Chains A and B, each alone.
Chain A
Amino acid sequence: MLFMGLSLIFMTLDHRFQQLQTLRAGLNLIISPLQYVVDLPLRIVADSSEALSSRSYLLTENERLSSENLRLQARLQQFEALKNENQRLRKLMQASERVADEVEIAEILSVDLDPYKQLIVLNKGSYEGVFVGQPLLDANGVMGQIVETSPLRSTAMLISDPSHALPVQVNRNGLRTVAIGKGSAQTLELRFIPTSADIEEGDIVSTSGLGGRFPADYPVARVSKIQRIPGEPFAYIEAEPLAYLDRSREVLLVLSRPEPEEQETAPTPAEETVDSEASPENTGLSEDNQAKEVSAGE
């Protein structure tokens, strides 16, 4: 009875107030050697396959990578020029300058968590400067955010988790929406898009930076299915995440802090775990912002 009561109290505290972070971090320290041991065999296999790969394979790979590097360098030159130009223009418009985002590489441990949540464990923790709310990318797009840190490990929630919502915009026309996870790594749902809105299959959506937790303009997903149901105010839209949510091994942790300018316009971080009733209010907010930004852009 005592233990049952205690568990109930713990659950309420954890769910409602997020007060048990230190306890969790402590217990996590006990678990982390186990995670390390479980992860070890796969790591050894990966390392040894690297060590045993043939010379010719390595040579071709090296060639491929250096040519790719050359191509990227060339594009980077252009990018630098564009960045400078952009910064100059922003200054002219007296908008605040964008801070370049720095990234750090972390590895995903091959450890299985709760199968009904989309969580991953990373091999870096608060000791290396990982903080709760830190955005997570892979080479192709946004993956998720850190929800829990212990000194040596951190747990991240993927954007496909059913309790994760991410404010995004359609790249083509700046239409704002919220990408909500559905519990599978292959689909997200885009909510609160009116039936008459201009959105097509194949559109890329990227982070809008509203909510101030994710930096703006990182690609998130490609629209894969649109259902316009007559009589319903909103269309049902599915999108496919661009990041390899279930295949990446290495991920990038973004080091940027939220930009103050955008925090003012969106005081409530929508990327937090949202309940469904909190969301409509949120879209009202984002539409408002959209109007503001459009007028500012002109």
Chain B
Amino acid sequence: MSDVNCRPMVIPLSFVIAFMLTLMPLPDWAIHFRPAWLALVLIYWVMALPQRVGLGTAWILGLLLDVSQGALLGQHALGLTVVAFITLKFYQRIRVFPLWQQGISIMLILVVYSILIYWIYGVTGHPPGTWLYWMPIITSGLLWPWIFVLLRDVRRRCKLS
């Protein structure tokens, strides 16, 4: 872990893990509570290294997410691009918040993301007809402190900055 060559790998690897967590089968009752893993990891990297991870990365990740979810091509791409954009605007402010306040800001960003995705579902004719649709925002917000600490440690180990 202590050597330098984890550097080029660590960001892609974290996205790969986020993808796997998104694809992982969950029991039926838990399916609506799955946090938006990819959005969380993306927000972290945009916040920590805005010069490396930006809108382009977000867009490509979104396209891959669309394909892996069988969603409309571009749906999550648009969502994640907007997420990255908002994070880029406010990263300097969010960075210095205490963890719980960061969690709340992340939840606000994810509200925008969810509204966009919901809107696209609606436009294409099939809005998810359940309040559980909004649950990932809450679970993601609660998970944020752990993800933040974990990824920060990983980043420091690898001396990425």
Q: Chain A interface (Cβ within 8 Å of chain B)?
A: 3-4, 6-11, 13-15, 20, 23-24, 27-28, 30-31, 34-35, 37-38, 42, 110-117, 119, 121, 147-148, 155, 162-163, 183, 246, 275
Contacts and interface: CB of A to CB of B under 8 A. Distances in A.
B128 A116 contact: yes
B86 to A, nearest CB: 12
A114 B22 CA distance: 10
B70 A119 contact: yes
Contacts of B81: 3-4, 7
Nearest to A11: B74
Contacts of B31: 112, 115
Given A30-B64, A35-B68, A7 B25 contact: no
Interface in B121-140: 121, 124-126, 128-129, 133
A27 B129 CA distance: 29
Interface of B: 16, 19-20, 22-26, 28, 31-32, 34, 55-56, 58-59, 62-64, 67-75, 77-78, 81-82, 120-121, 124-126, 128-129, 133
Contacts of A6: 59, 74, 77
8 contacts: A3-B55, A3-B56, A11-B75, A27-B67, A38-B25, A112-B26, A113-B69, A115-B32
A223 B127 CA distance: 26
A27 B32 CA distance: 26
Contacts, number: 105
A110 B73 contact: no
Residue among B23, B34, B71 with the highest chain A CB neighbour number at 10 A:
B23
Contacts of A9: 74
Given A6-B59, A115-B32, A14 B25 contact: no
A113 B70 contact: yes
Contact of A8 (B63, B74, B124): B74
B124 A15 contact: yes
A162 B67 contact: no
B126 A14 contact: no
A66 to B, nearest CB: 34
B16 to A, nearest CB: 7
Contacts of A28: 67-68
A114 B55 CA distance: 23
Given A20-B73, A114-B70, 18 more contacts: A3-B59, A3-B77, A4-B81, A7-B78, A11-B75, A23-B73, A27-B63, A28-B67, A34-B20, A37-B20, A38-B25, A112-B31, A115-B34, A116-B126, A116-B133, A119-B70, A163-B125, A183-B129
